[in-house]
Amino acid sequence: MFTQIPKVILAIEDSSSYCRDLIKGISRYARVHGPWSIYRDIHDSSYLHGRNYRKEFYEHLQDIEADGLITRSPKRTMKLTRKGIPTIVAITESKAVGDFPKLQINHIAVGEMAAKYFLEKGYKNFAFYGDTKYLWTKMRYKGFRNIVEKSRCSLTCYDPPPAKTIMQKGFGYKINHIADWLSSLEKPIAVMASSDAWAVNVIEAARIAGINIPEQLSLIGVDNDVPICDTCFPQLSSIHLNSEQAGFKIAELLDRIMKGEKTYEHIVKVEPVQVITRVSTDTLAVEDEDVVTAMRYIRAMKREPVQITEVAEEAAVSLRTLQKKFKENLNSTILDEIKRTRINYIKELLLNTDMSITKVSDFLYFSGTNSFSRYFKANTGYSPLEYRKKYGRY
């Protein structure tokens, strides 16, 4: 056991929401189970004092006499890890020497979630925007492609110009290159960008090309970086990762290692949790007005246990006809869509509110918490409480 407060170094930049959420999770663990004395990398390249502080931070790491290290810069922190300081490497593309526990994003699952989301909206044409020379981008594309190809839909991947050419010709050339690519794609098109930051380029290029979002081009990013997503025009839909939960888990793992416990968990996964829908995907790639009317009704009634006969009545067609149209346009049944919409809404309440399980059950007009829990577990494999503990913030 420690006789004094353990010193922990976080070599994690804070320039993205993903990293900031990791830091939140780590600091939350330290508050609850600590205290820890945390020494943190500051990513503040906009100001001279920030750049100088960051340089000094890495130059003087060994002076700290740390008890533990969580790093996204394994090359810069290699001297510490070679000294045997308990270390967790928190970056996918790490080539760090040694058998360290690692934090890794399930990039393939991220791509799969984006593809499934678009398929549920009826899209047949898909595109991926990113640079697959980066491992994380390549893996997200692989997951996206796996689902699209299984559905026998069309898929195009952006081929960026050489970085040297972009440096020579400037940002305008880059955006126009993307605009030309977007113009060549068959519409309506569902586009996954490798991250929210990359999605911003697609929005600007679409504006230049005169392509309407989301009517002609539906766009999704990754990270749910709220300052980026909310300031885009239109606002950007994005995949939310359980980064804060993962930060809490790696802090817990590091704590056990620092205390001399044997651990067998060498990889902690960051998983995609849900798509946060904003304007950039708020549409259906379906031309059949009866299906569109039915889906609008299902979404509007997501709080209530809707019957398929009610949906058919709202669409003013026979149940048999509407079932056939759902199969043709969405490759699913009316009941499938009712369940999917309702389950997604339940997930949203569990993850983004502090409502108790009982309150969520009452809010959604279930007869009781037992029937609510059975319904949710039958459709997700988790009880509501298990799901909230695994992915939620509260």
Per-residue pLDDT tens digits for 18-44: 999 999 999 999 999 989 999 887 655
Burial grade of 353 (CB within 10 A; 0-12, 13-18, 19 or more): middle
Residue whose entry in the numeric block shows the structure tokens 């019957």: 307
Whether a cis peptide bond, with omega within 30° of 0, leads into 6 is no
pLDDT of 50 strictly over 50? no
pLDDT of residue 49: 44
Helix (H) or strand (E) holding 268: strand 267-270
pLDDT of residue 303: 93
Strands (E), 95-195: 102-105, 125-129, 154-157, 189-193
pLDDT of residue 315: 94
CATH superfamily, domain at 289-391: Homeodomain-like (1.10.10.60)
pLDDT of 265 strictly over 80? no
CA gap 346, 286 in Å, rounded:
25
pLDDT of residue 47: 46
Domain ranges of the chain: 7-105+243-271, 107-241+275-281, 289-391
The fold for domain 107-241+275-281 equals Rossmann fold (3.40.50)
pLDDT of 200 strictly over 90? yes
Whether a cis peptide bond, with omega within 30° of 0, leads into 384 is no
pLDDT of residue 394: 47
pLDDT of residue 98: 62
Average model confidence (pLDDT) across the chain: 89
pLDDT of residue 379: 93
Question: Rounded to whole angstroms, what are the CA distances from 274 to 238, 340, 384?
Answer: 9, 12, 15
Characterize the bridge pairing of strands 154-157 and 189-193: unpaired
Residue whose entry in the numeric block shows the structure tokens 């593309």: 93
The fold for domain 7-105+243-271 equals Rossmann fold (3.40.50)
The answer to whether 229 touches 278, Cβ cutoff 8 Å, is yes
